[in-house]
Amino acid sequence: MNDETPLIIEVRCNESADRGANPALPYGPQEVIEEGVLAGEAGASVLHWHARDTDGTERPNDTALYREVIEGVREQTDMLLHPTLGFIGTQGDAQGRVRHIRELNEDSKTRIDMAPVDFGAFSADVWDGEYERFLTDDQVVSNRVGYLKELLSVLQETNVFVYSVVWGAGAVRTARSFQRMGLLDRSTFWCLGFTGDEVPGGPPPTLANLQTYLEAIPSGDPWTVHCRNGDALPLAAWAIMQGGHVSIGLGDHPYSRFGKPRNSDLVKMVADMSLTLGRPVATPSQAREILQLKHAETVQKGS
């Protein structure tokens, strides 16, 4: 991996965020489709989203909601599609978390390109800096080894490329142990997880922490950065210069310092930054090549 490798930009369009801070955050499938296509035009090659109703209610295992997004996006673009397995509310239920993936992958037209697996643990409670108090007090990301064994085994049976989300260098070492066990493919996409000030229990987005991550992952492996409840743009600059990739979106942070930007505006900021620094932005086909996606079927526009 070097700084001439085209930059993969993943748009994280909605997650579990509330649109109160930015009405541009998409909820229902049609809004996600529109945001995804616009982000693709701005330079994103990967779309990540959560299945939600038009009122914002999360439906993590509602296959119909995922299918609607997949079909709508693939009518207009060949972006790589990366739906969620849920987060804290679904952790620990390996079979339930992949039910929609299995159902989607029964049809080649709705087969997804990769699925995320979180490694590591941290307190995800939200801090209100203005009033100096926690807004939640029971949110914990917990990924037990026994649960991970089951989840990775199920994903192997489903023949899905794993996107490895790691929450600390120790989580990288855990994931690499699963590689040695043969439960996690040697070919993976490392997502280096950071959290902003609103979630003080996670790794802060500092250059020193990024370097610690990079010392832990195998040299040459593709990696991306993202910041939950925080601004990922400083991380983006560091990643671009060090040969990594960038995951960004309104699902993680409203980016109110820019007014009320859309996801495509954030993608364009990263794309412009990359081009300014002399690094091209990856197309979806280039992203597939960089990630060595062996299991996903390339679905062309309009197919």
For the segment 258-303, what is each residue's pLDDT rounded down to a tens digit? 999 999 999 999 999 999 999 999 999 999 999 998 544 444 344 3
pTM of structure: 0.94
In this predicted structure, what is the pLDDT of residue 137? 94
Q: Summarize pLDDT for 6-22 with one digit per residue, the tens.
A: 999 999 999 999 999 99
Of 92, 90, 16, 74, which is closest to residue 50 (Cα–Cα)? 16
For the segment 34-62, what is each residue's pLDDT rounded down to a tens digit? 999 999 999 999 999 999 999 999 998 89
Tell me the pLDDT tens digit for each residue of 86-97: 877 667 678 888
The residue type at 222: P
Helix (H) or strand (E) holding 225: strand 223-228
In whole angstroms, what is the distance from residue 36 CA to residue 16 CA?
A: 16
- State residue 241's pLDDT score: 97
Structural domains of the chain, with CATH? 9-116+189-196+206-211+220-291 (3.20.20.70)
pLDDT value at residue 237: 98
**Beta partners for residue 164, in sequence order:** 117, 190
pLDDT at residue number 3? 60
Q: 198, 230 in Cβ contact below 8 A?
A: yes
**By percentage, how much of the chain surpasses pLDDT 70?**
95
User: Are the beta carbons of 224 and 10 closer than 8 angstroms?
Assistant: yes
Q: What is the pLDDT of residue 20?
A: 93
Q: Which of 134-148, 170-184, 255-269 has the lowest mean pLDDT?
A: 134-148
